Structure formats: C-alpha cells, structure tokens
Structure 1
C-alpha cells in the first residue's frame, strides 16, 4: 500500500492547478473555433473556478472537448443570476436536472422559473467542495 501524501500546508489541497497559460489561449481559440469577440484569460497561479469575477464563467477544457460552445440554458442562467454565483459552480447533476425541468416545461407549454424550482428544491453548498452548489 502506498504511503499517504504529506500535506505541505494547512490549506485543503483540491487537486492540481491549471496548466493553461496566456500563450495557450490562442491555440485553444483556434482548436475549438471560439469567436474573437469572446474574452478569454488564463487563471492566476492560485485561482480556482469559483474565484472568477461577477461577469466571468469558468469553462473547463473537457467541456470544450464535449462540444460545449457557450449556450447556457435560460433556467440555469436565471438560477445563477438569482443566487449570484457562476454557472460553473453548479454540479453536473444540477445542470442536468435543471435542463430536464426546462425542456419538459417547454414541451408541455408552461414556463418554469426560479420560484417554481425553489418550491420543490433548495440549493446547498457541497460539503467537500467549497464554492460549488447542488440541488
């Protein structure tokens, strides 16, 4: 059995830091056909996804590889705006649940907003991942 990794600080180590730097952004823009009007920046050395500014969203390269191109479903946008957190702070299961609710609402011809979601669900922070939320 391998020995446990020793922690060098008292802070929680939540994995490796990003390896994307400013020079890599042009390559990513070309590789994923990101329009020049979309502003992009690489994170600082100690910055994490929830640390972004109010008008920023963090997109992981895995999302781009899965053909995500920035179309945020309106219900997810409304919920994120209502609570004041970034889209990327929602767990994948929360995204999936909200998208299903929105699609079913559109299919059956009724409008679903934040208040309808809060009637049945509540948003809670993840216990093991600060800055992320789930239903």
Structure 2
C-alpha cells in the first residue's frame, strides 16, 4: 500500500478501467454472480428532487434506473450511488479516500455503505484542514472493512479501537438522521464517472483481498 498520496486529491481514477459488471444471472446456470436485490425505487422525479435538495451541478450525469435494474447493473464509467451518499456530503466527485479504499479492495464504491462514505469524507476533510496525509494505510490501521449483515455484499467501516479518529454517531441518534434512514438499499441511481468501472466484488473474494492488503 502507498499511503503517501495527498488527501487533497478530489478524485482518483482507477487504473486500466474496464467494466466487470455483475448481471442478474442465476448461479445455478453457471454464473458466480447471484441476483443482488432489491431493485431501485427511484425515478426521474426523485432524481430532480435530489438535484435541488443537494444542489447537484447540472453537469453531474445521473442515469435513472429502469424498474427492473438491480444495483449491480451499472455500466461502463458508472457508479451506483444512494441518496444517503448525498446526505453524507457527496456532491458529484468521488472523494479520494472512497476511491482509494474501493480500488485497493477491488470493489465498487457503491459497495461501501453511506456511513462509510461519511467517515471517509470526514477523514479527508480532517486531513485537508490540518495538512495531514491520510491514505489507505491510515484508514485500514484505524478501521476494518466488515460485511453488513442485512445487505448483500455491502460493507461498512468498523473501528479497530475504542476511540476512532472521527466521531462515530451513537446508535440511539442514528434514527434521526437521513443518512441512516431505513430502506437505503432501494434508493439508488447510476452516476456517470469516467474512469470508474469496478467489479461488484463478492464477500469471499473481498476477504482474500483484504488479507493481502493488511
């Protein structure tokens, strides 16, 4: 791992981008990618509300999912994004720490749950504010990447110590925040971000990748 990259980078492009997309094919038929539910409930009206509510620039390209689209149906140069991502501070450019963690683990940025995005954005802002170099090594020193029990092949950051570098929101306070609102896995669209076409990595393969990294 190279932790020398400055946290001031706003975006990071994946090297040798190529689309490896998990389509809705049954593992019984020979595919290693099972269906990843649920489909999106977001349409054009909701996207228009997002643009106004979160002040998204006009040049941010968002593709409204078809009714049958699953989160793994992103195409070339697309990343699945949730409303919670915008509520956590995302505004159209993948934060460098989100991009670097995703690339290092070989997963789609959409597999990190929105609170993980919130933590990484906070860490990046902390580095920018105090001139600190916060890279992949520093993040994985403070956090482990763990699977969500209620969402297939999605992951969160679990603090390794009792005092994480950024404040974690207590569970009793989370229900009052939009970023922790229920049914978040149904509220996604696809954002066009050239250079990002990463695999929707399955859990067993991710564990192997994490072991190699740390």
Give deviations 1:30-67, integer Å, cap 9, x for gaps.
x656545x554333443222442463112345766998
Of 95, 118, 123, the residue aligned with 1:96 is 118
RMSD: 3.5
Question: Which of the pair has the greater relative contact order for Cα pairs under 8 Å at 6+ separation?
Answer: 2
User: Is the 2:147–2:156 Cα contact (8 Å) retained in structure 1?
Assistant: yes
Alignment correspondent of 2:41? 18
| 1:107 aligned onto 2:129 | yes
Query: Whole-Å Cα distance in 1 between the matches of residues 62 and 113 of structure 2?
Result: 22
Query: Whole-Å Cα distance in 1 between the matches of residues 151 and 107 of structure 2?
Result: 15
SS in 1 for 2:64: coil
Query: Whole-Å Cα distance in 2 between the matches of residues 76 and 14 of structure 1?
Result: 23
Q: CA deviation at 1:103?
A: 1.9
Judging by fraction of residues, say which structure has more strand.
Answer: 2
State the TM-score, normalized to the length of structure 1: 0.62
| 1:75 aligned onto 2:97 | yes
State the TM-score, normalized to the length of structure 2: 0.43
Alignment correspondent of 2:205? none
Q: CA deviation at 1:105?
A: 2.0
Query: Whole-Å Cα distance in 2 between the matches of residues 67 and 119 of structure 1?
Result: 24
Residues 109 and 50 (structure 1), Cα distance of their counterparts in 2 relative to 1, 3 Å cut: same
Judging by fraction of residues, say which structure has more helix.
Answer: 1
Residues 97 and 40 (structure 1), Cα distance of their counterparts in 2 relative to 1, 3 Å cut: closer
* Structure showing greater Rg: 1
SS in 1 for 2:144: coil
